Amino acid sequence: MIRIKATLLALAVYVNIASAIPYADDLPPGPYCGARPNACCRGRMDGCSAPIIGTLCYCDDFCDRVRSDDCCPDFQAVCRGNYTVQEIRVCRYKGQYYAYGKTAKENCNICKCEQVGSTVEMLCERNTCIVEENIINAVNQRYDQHQWRASNYTKFWGRRLDEGIKLRLGTLQPHRFVRRMSPVRRIYDPNSLPHQFDSNQKWRGYISPIQDQGWCGASWAMSTSATASDRFAILSEGLERVQLSAQNLLSCNNRGQQSCNGGYLDKAWLFFRKYGIVDENCYRYIGHDDSCRIPKLGDLVSARCALPRNVGRKEKYKVGPAYRLANETDIMYEIMTSGPVQATMRVYHDFFTYSSGIYRHTNLATDDRTGYHSVRIVGWGEEPDYHGRVHKYWRVANSWGEDWGENGYFKIARGIDECEIESFVLGAWPFTVDPVSKNDV
C-alpha cells in the first residue's frame, strides 16, 4: 500500500443531536456556520457568512425565510437546533472528498480513506497495471525510435499486469527436449522468396478470422485450432473450410494441460493427432474451464456434430505429427507453400498496448514481468521508416479480438528473433478429405 497524504478537513463540527446534518453529496462536509467564531448572527448581516466552494453561504436570521439556497447547509442545525461537538474524518484525494472508510479506484488499484495515527490518509495499493499511461506516452513520443505506436485499450484498463500475464497469454514453455526437436529441412532457393506475402490475399476466404480468448489463458488452444483450420482449407483446396474448436482442446485435452491457466503446444498437437477435434459449431468457445462434453474417442456422429455438407467426412479432424521450422527463410517458405504457422513469443509489458507499426520490445516498463503466448504467423513484409531505412517484419494474427492492434493483427521485427518469435515455430499436416474420392487420406 502507498500512503497518499490527505487533509483532515474537520476536527470538530456542530451536528444535531437527533440526526447528522444532511449535507449535499457533492459538497465538502463543512462545518460552515459551526466554524465561525460567533456561529450565527441576528437580523440580516451580509458579513455573517462562511466560504463554500469558491463563494459564500450565510448564517444570519434571514435564512429563516422559506427559500434559502444561499444559506449554509448547517444553518438549521447550528443556529436553530441543539448541537454537540462530533469529529468528522474525511480524506481529500484528487479534488474529491471521501468519508472515512470509503474507497476509490485508480486504474487497477484500490484506494481507501483510513486512520493513520492522529490523521486520516488515502492508502492505495501498488499493483502494476496492464495499461500504464507513462509507457503509452513514452512509446508515442519516440515513434521515430521505436517504429510503433501504443494505445489505451478499454478492456485492459483497470486490470493488473499479473492478470494479463496469466489470463491473456497462456502458453507454457515447452520442455527442453521438445525445444530441441530437429527441424524439418526444405529444398528451395531463399532468393526466390518475395519481399511481401500475406496468406489472406493468396487464399482469400480460407484463413480463420481473428478470435478473442477473453480472460482465459487459452492461446495454446486457440492458436493450435486456428492454424489447423487454415491448413485444412488451404490443403483441401477449399473443400474443407472449417473453423475448428479451441474449446474442444481447452476442455478435453486435460492430461498435463491446465486449461485456462495455460497449456503446452506439443501436448495440444499430440491430442489433435491421436483423438482429433470437432468444429466450432459443434463445440463453441466459452472461454473458461469446463468439463469435456464430448467423447474423446469416436467420430463426429458420436460427438453429435452436424456432418459437413458435400464432404464424405464422419471422422473428427486430425493432423499428422507437428514439426518445427528452424529459421527465417524456412518459416517464410512454409507459410507460402502450406499456410500459416504457429509461433511462441515472449510477451513483455509494453506489448499489451501495441496499436500499430512494427513492434520491438522497449525498456520503458519498470516492472517487466513476462509470459509466453502463442500466435499465428500469416505473412511477412518490409516497410521504410522516415529516414529511408527498410525494416523487415512478420504479420501475425493475435487472439485478443479485432479491436486490438491492426484489426487483431500485429507486425513484429523479422529476422532477429524478436521476443523469441522465431525460436519455436510449428506446422502440422492435416488429414484432409481427397477432393476426388472424398475418402480420408
pLDDT higher than threshold 70 for residue 66: no
Q: Hey, is 167 helix, strand or coil?
A: helix
Phi, psi of 439, deg, nearest 5? -110, 150
Per-residue confidence (pLDDT) for residue 20, from 0 to 100:
37
Closest CA to 75 of 117, 121, 120, 16: 16
The helix/strand count (H/E) of the chain reads as 10, 19
Residues 80 and 95 in one domain: no
> Which residue is it, cell 489447423?
228
Which of 136-145, 148-157, 198-207, 275-284 bottoms out in mean pLDDT, i.e. has the lowest? Answer: 136-145
Domain membership of residue 108 as a residue range = 89-126
Which tens digit of pLDDT belongs to each residue from 291-331? 999 999 999 999 999 999 888 899 999 999 999 998 999 99
Residue 1: inside a domain, yes or no? Answer: no
List the beta strands (DSSP E) in 254-328: 323-325
Q: Which of 126, 147, 181 is the last residue of a domain?
A: 126
Q: Are both 369 and 237 inside the same structural domain? A: yes
Q: Do 175 and 207 reside in the same domain of the chain?
A: yes
Do 39 and 122 lie in one domain? The reply is no
Whether residues 52 and 108 share a domain: the answer is: no
Query: Considering the domain boundaries, does residue 120 fall inside one?
Result: yes
On the 0-12 / 13-18 / 19+ scale of CB atoms within 10 A, 19 is exposed
Final residue before a domain boundary, out of 65, 88, 111:
88
Q: pLDDT value at position 293? A: 94
The whole-number average pLDDT for the span 383-409 is 95
270 is a domain residue = yes
pLDDT of residue 82: 58
Q: What percentage of residues in the chain have a pLDDT greater than 90?
A: 65
* CATH code (residue 367): 3.90.70.10
With cut-offs at 50, 70 and 90, classify the pLDDT of residue 45.
Answer: confident
Measured CA distances, 322 to 319, 341, 394 (Å)? 8, 11, 21
HSE-up (13 A, CA, CB side) for residue 172: 17
Which of 6-15, 237-246, 407-416 is predicted with the least confidence, judged by mean pLDDT?
6-15
Between the two ends of the chain, the Cα-to-Cα distance in Å is 62
Residue 11: predicted pLDDT: 37
* Full DSSP string of 111-159: EEEEEETTEEEEEE--PPBS--HHHHHHHHHTHHHH-EEE---TTTTT-
| 441 has pLDDT over 80 | no
Q: Is residue 311 part of a domain?
A: yes
Helices (H), 190-245: 199-202, 219-235
* Dist CA 421 CA 401 (whole Å): 20
Question: Which of residues 35, 59, 88 is at a domain's end?
Answer: 88
Q: Are residues 268 and 142 in the same domain?
A: yes
**Does residue 437 form part of some domain?**
no
pLDDT (0 to 100) of residue 92 = 85
pTM for the whole structure? 0.80
Q: Based on the fold, state whether residues 60 and 155 are members of the same structural domain.
A: no
Same domain? For 165 and 216 the reply is yes
Q: Is the pLDDT of residue 170 over 90?
A: yes
Q: Is residue 368 part of a domain?
A: yes
In the prediction, which pLDDT does 241 show?
Answer: 96
Mean pLDDT of the chain: 88
- Domain count along the chain: 3
In one-letter notation, the amino acid at residue 371 is G
Q: How far apart are CA 360 and CA 358, in angstroms?
A: 7
Largest Cα separation within the chain, whole Å, is 105
Assess whether 291 and 380 both reside in one domain: yes
For the cut 50, the answer to whether the pLDDT of residue 347 exceeds it is yes
pLDDT for residue 19 is more than 80: no
pLDDT tens track for 76-127: 888 887 555 556 678 888 888 898 889 999 999 999 999 888 888 999 999 9
- How far is it, in rounded angstroms, from Cα 351 to Cα 120? 39
In a domain, 439, yes or no: no
Q: Note whether 324 and 422 are same-domain residues.
A: yes
- CA nearest 148: which of 352, 425, 342? 352
Tell which wins on pLDDT, 81 or 412. 412
Could you tell me if residue 344 is inside a domain? yes
Q: Is the pLDDT of residue 13 over 60?
A: no
Q: Same structural domain for residues 72 and 145? A: no
Q: Are residues 45 and 60 in the same domain?
A: yes
